[in-house]
Homo-oligomer: A and B are copies of this chain.
Amino acid sequence: MTATADANTLPAHYIELTGLIREASTLGSVGSLLGWDQETYMPPAGGPARGEQAALIARLTHEMHTAPRVGELLSACESDADLMQEGTESAANIRAMRRDYDKATRLPGSLVAELARTGSEAQDIWKHARAKSDFSAFAPALTKMLDLTRRKAECLGIPEGGELYDALLDEYEPDARAAQIEQVFLPLRDRLSVFIADITANGTPPRVDFTRRAIPVGRQHAFGQAVLAALGFDFSAGRLDTSTHPFCSGISAGDTRLTTRYAEDNFADALSSTMHECGHGLYEQGLPKSGPHAGTPLAGSVSLGIHESQSRMWENFVGRSRPFWAWALPLANQHFDGALSDIDLDTMVRAMNTCTPSLIRVESDEPTYNLHVMIRFGLERSLIKGDLSVKDLPGAWNEQYRKLLGVEVPDDRRGCLQDVHWSFGLIGYFPTYSLGNIYAAQLWETINEQITDLDAQMARGEFGALLSWLRENIHRHGRRYSAQELCERATGKPLSADPLMRHLERRVKPAYGL
């Protein structure tokens, strides 16, 4: 990394600018705590007041980010040739601050308010429509949200060489373009579809019955904590709690909070959720949040895709591997009072690598998950383009599920009404889930080339070398590089879905005796 001039020689306009952004970031971190608390410990009747607190913090944070003084200082920094020298941290930081500032100032307040209000109403309408599996009840609200979202994309502006959808995508995966993603997704989609059809037709499904044995929640929690501690999650700078929907909140330097959920009869699912959130948490704990870049973009995560690559790596590439279970199965048995003592390692590993086409994304397994995501990517892109009308959405959805997953969608509740995202305008978000898997697979191949005995280490419960590699190659860079650049610097190769296919072949086929 090219060094920046040290802090003593940084010009006053850069110091003032980063100071203002740091303050906005501190206020934003307060908003994160409000959100965490709401999902974990807030009593039910605290909801309305919490809504007011969150709205006020969001408004004040936005005011700080869009203050005219920030704009003035940005311009001053941009005309400072020393600061903007190619390859310096200051140049990367200023470019990121410019991007954030433009994004924040380009949306008129009235549109932000209308999106929030309409989105909140539409989410409510969606909830009822889904319960009654009545798409027609949701269609008008979705149409309205799509119109507003298109207007939002127009305000943000079409990125260079892109399409309208890219303006939305750019919020979650900066610098990504739908057309480039399509080039990676399309061949993967077709190969996955064939792969899954082959397994479904020719494979012998593994035993999974024992994963539904009753394990008291307290025992599962203790096991999960023991696993996270071994993976390297720093509990002196973080926590693990429970919530309805698992999440990770990187509140501040020294304060990263994970949640998971437990069902007595599904310890494997709980462990996967816990390890998934831990992957996010390890990334947050590895970002350069203290030190010279504290509170500035350089201290932040680069994209949702990279964030997801970290969660997926620990959940799937580590957590469904044979070496991991060689270490974790005896540990689980110990915590579960011998409840798995009749299960051998092969049986355990096979059960963790199933492949069953199904209707619901959030319940799907590792190989089929990506098809759920790609279907949504294609459909939402067409909706924004105007190639697909809202009234034709259910038909298009069902056709894709038939064609790619081989399943018949019996009703819209288990079809195009299943996800909350579109109801509040979250469009451009879905592809980051599969990008995460693709990044993870590509990183994983490089890691295994460079840490040649990683399997042996994992089988001993040692994950330090893996975490150090991620710290060095991913975490510490924060937002310095774009996601694609970062991945290419770490692996030496352009983005490709080949590693993901190789990974799935190696993992899933043996579980089905193929």
List chain A positions with a Cβ less than 8 A from chain B.
23, 26-27, 29-30, 33-34, 37, 41-50, 52-53, 56-57, 60, 234-239, 241, 251-255
Complex CA gap A23/B59 in Å reads 12
Given A50-B252, A50-B255, A60-B60, the answer on whether A45 and B239 have CB atoms closer than 8 Å is no
B34 & A255 in contact (Cβ 8 Å cutoff): no
Query: Which 4 residue pairs are nearest across A and B when measured between Cβ atoms?
Result: A45-B254, A46-B255, A49-B252, A45-B237
- Report B-chain residues with C-beta under 8 Å of the C-beta of A49: 26, 29, 251-255
Cross-chain contact A43 with B239 (CB below 8 angstroms)? yes
A251 and B46 contact, CB distance less than 8 A: yes
- Which of B30, B47, B255 is close to A45, meaning CB atoms less than 8 Å apart? B255
Contact A252–B29 (Cβ < 8 Å)? no
Copies per assembly: 2
From the candidates B30, B235, B239, B241, name the one contacting A53 in the complex (CB within 8 A).
B30
A44 to B253: give the CA distance in the assembly, Å: 11
| Closest B residue by C-beta to A254 | B45
A-side interface mostly = helix
A252: B residues at CB distance < 8 A: 46, 49-50, 53
Chain B nearest CB, measured from A191 CB (Å): 43
Report B-chain residues with C-beta under 8 Å of the C-beta of A238: 43
Determine the chain B residues whose CB is within 8 A of the CB of A57 once the complex forms.
30
Complex formed: what's the CA distance from A26 to B30 in Å? 13
Which of chain B's residues have a CB closer than 8 A to the CB of A239?
41, 43
C-alpha spacing A42/B251, complex, angstroms: 10
Q: How far is the CA of A26 from the CA of B59 in the complex (A)?
A: 13
Q: Can you name the residue of chain B whose Cβ is closest to the Cβ of A237?
A: B45
| Closest chain B CB from A20 CB (angstroms) | 12
A166 to B273, CA, bound (A): 58
Is A48 in contact with B237, judged by CB distance below 8 angstroms?
no
Contact partner, A37, options B29, B37, B48, Cβ 8 Å = B37
- Given A41-B239, A237-B46: A56 in contact with B255 (beta carbons within 8 A): no
Instruction: Assess the A30–B23 pair: CB atoms within 8 A.
Output: no
